[in-house]
Amino acid sequence: MKYRKLFTALLVVLLAFSGVTSVAMAATEVEGSAYVGYSSKYLWRGFDLSNGNPVVQGGVDVGFNGLTFSYWSNLDLDTGEISETDFTIDYGFALSDLVAVGVGNVFYSLENAADTNELYLGVSLDTLLAPTLTLYYDYDEAQKDGLFYTFSIAHELELAETLTLGLGGLVSYNQQSDYSIGDYTGWHNYEFSATLDYALNGQVGISPYLIYSDAISAEAERVIADEFVGGITFSFNF
């Protein structure tokens, strides 16, 4: 069942991309990154999905011609269990010098819950604070609307030639994404984040980070609490 869902998700997105991926593969330049990191807990959309346990998270991204294929897993260090593995296919393109679009599908393979799929569409502006609006649609397990929205901003400060401070903020809105978030419509959570990116060389990087999240609405307060997360990620670009 897991692999049938994954195949269906990949097929849906590949068909959607078929009209924009006709560039010859011979001209393709493949790029990617591999990364692994430690986090004090697994925080996702305001939910503590590891019950406060520390986790190790890692993955691989491979991209070409605007397409990116990603693999990601979460290992709970208390139980020794891989609780989640995600497979993502993404296509990004520029509508203009100012507007960029990303569309894709995430297949969530879950250890202790039913697997599900989300389609998403994101629009970003190449301007101050890089504002980005993203819509997620759970078309698999959600019984209601299954829609979830995020609006984020980000800014980078170059502290030194090899050291960059990244600051970010996010707010989210839930529209009856009843399987993963909750059966309500309203504001969900906000987040503040800070990341310190240190480039050891052109390929290897180290990034410690901090994230704070809390509920916005009374409905969200029934399902999530305020959370503080710290971690560090090691990355290799190829």
- Indicate if the pLDDT at residue 108 is higher than 80: yes
φ and ψ of 2, to 5 deg: -60, -45
- Given this model, what pLDDT does residue 29 score? 85
pLDDT band at 22 (very low <50, low <70, confident <90, very high): very low
Q: Which top CATH class is 2-18+34-237?
A: mainly beta
pLDDT tens-digit map of 186-236: 999 999 999 999 999 989 999 999 999 999 999 999 999 999 999 999 999
Look at residues 114, 121, 134, 124 and name the one whose alpha carbon lies nearest to residue 154.
124
* Average pLDDT for 88-101: 98
Q: How many residues does the chain have?
A: 238
Helix (H) or strand (E) holding 91: strand 81-94
As a whole number of angstroms, the distance between CA 157 and CA 209 comes to: 15
Look at residues 43, 51, 83 and name the one whose alpha carbon lies nearest to residue 172.
43
Domain boundaries, the chain: 2-18+34-237
Exposure string for 117-143, b = 16+ CB within 10 A, e = fewer? bbbbebebeeeeeeebebbbbbebbbe
Tokens of 165: 């401070």
What's 181's DSSP letter? T
As a whole number of angstroms, the distance between CA 60 and CA 43 comes to: 20
Q: What angle do CA 199, 34, 65 make, to 5 degrees?
A: 100
Cα dihedral 188, 6, 35, 30, rounded to 10, equals -120
- Given this model, what pLDDT does residue 145 score? 98
- High-pLDDT (> 70) share of the chain, %: 88
- Indicate if the pLDDT at residue 126 is higher than 60: yes
Look at residues 72, 132, 131 and name the one whose alpha carbon lies nearest to residue 102.
132
Q: What angle do CA 218, 155, 31 make, to 5 degrees?
A: 110
- Indicate if the pLDDT at residue 55 is higher than 80: yes
Bridge partners (DSSP) listed for residue 195:
166, 209
Q: Report the chain's mean pLDDT, rounded to a whole number.
A: 91
Block residue for tokens 């990341």: 195
- Given this model, what pLDDT does residue 7 score? 47
CA dist 224 → 43, 44, 48, 217 (Å) = 11, 10, 8, 10
- Given this model, what pLDDT does residue 28 score? 65
As a whole number of angstroms, the distance between CA 194 and CA 207 comes to: 10
- Given this model, what pLDDT does residue 202 score? 85
As a whole number of angstroms, the distance between CA 29 and CA 64 comes to: 6
pLDDT tens-digit map of 132-150: 999 999 999 999 999 999 9
- Indicate if the pLDDT at residue 6 is higher than 70: no
